[in-house]
Structures are given as structure tokens and as C-alpha cells.
Structure 1
């Protein structure tokens, strides 16, 4: 890999800026000053330093975010604030993106990465990766709804969903509100909301708590994020293969 490309990928500036930086003699490879930005290096085998600090190269980053309400699952938008806007600048050179999407008013687990292969595996309709949500619903959710969801729900456009697992957590007969947990195995547009509309109920709050083997860290407040642990990443990659 070209040295200027590597350093740019790690957030040390544009290639033009890195070229100027290298002319100052502050970039070392295996202890030798390198001023030619086009030099090729092996980041896994060679020691690279800038201003005496070691450059720890990595190709991919994997972040777990507790997406808050009011931001959209996109990399950029001219009007709306995106989940990428919530990240510090150190991650921007990696050109990360959200894996799938959560609606603007939906919160919860969102994976952010620059690993296209893993993203494709997780979002492939053939994989049926489970996604679990907690929802507050206007209306009394019943055992009959559980049976309907278990068979598959016919949506407003005639599409019949895959069987899903609906669990009633709490029902308030007085206010006619319910809290449920729902696991689905696909990701159609507004699917959870449309499934409840099909049984004449309305989702008023929605939060995703898991995707595949990945479970939302309860210590992450809305808007917070952290990198995946090695164990989480191993489980995720194992699930996607």
C-alpha cells in the first residue's frame, strides 16, 4: 500500500497534506526517514511512526451505536442530521456507513462500519438475520395477534411477511396500551409499524435491541457509541457466514 494512502486512511490528512508533512522528515518506516509519499509499505510487517508516535493501521472499524430519535440512518444529508454526524472526526477517514437503516423516530442498535462484505452478508434477504425490537403500541395486543404474527402478516401492499415472534410484555387495559417484544427475519420498509397497522394497532415508540448475535449495550445512552469487542465481532462474522 502507498504510504500516503495509508496515512490518509488513518486520518492524518489529504494526500497533498501528507506529502508536505513527509518533506519535513517526521515520517519514519522501520526507523528510517521517508520523504517520498509514493513509497509502498506493508503496515502489518513494518513499523510506521509520525512525530515519534507509532501508527497502528487497521482497514476496518466496527461501531455499535444507540441511535437516538431525530437523526437519520445515512452518511450525509443536506437537511437532516445523520448518525455519521454523531461520530468524532477520527472515524471519518474510514468512510463508515450504517448497516441498514432505522427510521428517524426509531432508536436503538445500529451497526456502523466500512466493511462492505460483512454489511452485504448481514443485509442479504437470503440470510434471514433476526432483528429484535421493543415497542410501545396503541391498542391491546392479544394472543390472536401472536398467532397472526407467527403465521406471517399481510401488509398494506399485499406482501406477506416471514413468520415472526411476538411476545407481550405488558398490557394496560385502562389506557389500551401494550408493550411488546418482536423478532423479525427480514427488513422491509417500516415493517414493524406496518405489521401492527395490519392488525389495527399503532406503534408509538420503537427501539431495536438486537441484530443477529449483537445485543445493544445497556450502558450506551441514545447517541452514544463504542467499538465492538473482539468477541462481538467474532460472533457477528460467524453469524454472517
Structure 2
């Protein structure tokens, strides 16, 4: 059975104004449902079945939206902030009314993949501690990252608050030479999301992360063609992969 929704809620969700503004649109005769002028902004609509138009423009209703954002540094992973720009400030105006939120968070100075949606169930599944959804990061690290670090991360390291991390997979792309000021380049896959976890894991083995970028979350990989600070909607294939993972 297909679910119904109030006409004013549907129109608010698709960007046609507040409920009081929509009431005025209905009163003015601007809204039609299946070709008939709507009389009541509270009437029930089945979005998949009913044809709703505002001033002749067909309303396209989508309950959920899923965006991949290439988060830049200097922006906070929040829906609002009194001091800094948020990831929502980077989105086009067409998404402003959809009440999107970031799935998890990236530190202010960290860049890379961030999923934005208004689908609370998918978000909950992806963030559930029981799911252990893998997240892969690229990092530049001060210090010579070596086999002992690979082993330590595979065992789990003790953070500054005494928490012992789950086993993590560390791959060394380039072993730096600290004497020459040369940074190590690594990729790290973790299966939990403690506060500043990647930075604190390297701190636990006497090294310091100076640049951090998230490359993937579960099966979802950052699109290499997506410019820093830009967002795009997920493809059906990407979304299906996430749903299966979540």
C-alpha cells in the first residue's frame, strides 16, 4: 500500500514555501491535483499516483535525497554553527528546504568524502557501532611510518583516554625521512569513528598527522572528478551499495 502525505507537506518538501505560504497558493487557486483545483492544503496525496501542479508546473516529490560532498577544510560537519560555515552552506539553493544532515562528521580541517541525506534510517545503519562500517583515509604523517606501526594498528592501539581501538589496516604509500623533513604518506582503514581517531592513533605511536582526507565509507568512494567543495547526488548503483551495507 502506497503511503499518503498532506498536500502542504509535499509542497513544503519540494520547495514551494512555508505551510502558510502554501495555504495562500491553494486559496489563490494556483494548485491542482489530478487536474482539479485544490481546495484544502491539508488534503491527502499519494505522491507516486497523484499529479500535483503549481501554476502549471508539475511537482516532483522525492522523500529522500542523498548527496556526496567533497568536503573542503575550514568547514564544519554540522547543520548549523554560530562561528563557522557548515557543510550545508556549500549546497545549491535547491537543497535548502530538504533538512539534510551529514552522516557522521569530518573534523574541521579534514577534507574528503561526506555523505549528506535526510534519510535517518540509512544514516543510523551506517553509523551504528554494531555495523563496523569501514572508512578509509589518506594521510600525510610526520615521522617514518614503518612495519611496527602496521603491526600496532592491526592489533589495536591505546588512545590518550585509555580506549583500545579495533584492529585497523595501515598501508604505507611512502615512508618519510624525518631528518630530511620528508612526510610519510599512508592509507588507513578503520571500522569505528571515535573523536579525532586517525590523528589520535598516530599520536599513540609517536607521530603526527598533518593532512587528512577521507576516501571512502563502506562501498561509497569519493568521486575523483568531484571538485573540492562541490556536491552531487549519488547514482542508483552507489545508493544500492550503501543500502546493502547499511
The answer, yes or no, to whether TM exceeds 0.5 is: yes
Residue 242 of structure 2 aligns with which residue? Answer: 236
- 1:194 aligned partner: 200
- The structural deviation recorded for 1:129 is 0.2
Q: Deviations over 1:78-110 (max 9, x none)?
A: 111100111122212210100000000000000
Extract unaligned runs of 5+ from structure 1. Answer: none
One of 208, 211, 230 as aligned partner of 2:217: 211
What whole-Å deviation, never above 9, does each CA across 1:108-134 have from its counterpart, x for those lacking one? Answer: 000000111111100011100000000
Shift of 1:37: 1.0
Aligned residue for 1:172, secondary structure, equals: coil
The answer to whether the 8 Å contact 2:146/2:175 transfers is no
Residue of structure 2 aligned with 1:120, choices 124, 127, 148 = 124
Q: Is 1:140 the equivalent of 2:148?
A: no
**What is residue 70 of structure 1 aligned with on the other side?**
74
> Which range is displaced more, 169-178 or 187-196?
169-178
Backbone CA RMSD of aligned residues? 0.9
TM-score (norm 2): 0.96
Q: Name the structure 1 match of 2:181.
A: 175
Q: Which runs of 4+ in 1 moved over 4 A?
A: none
Unpaired stretches in structure 2, ≥5 consecutive residues: none
Please, what TM-score do these two structures have when normalized by structure 1? 0.98
With 131-140 and 166-175 compared, the bigger mean Cα shift is at 166-175
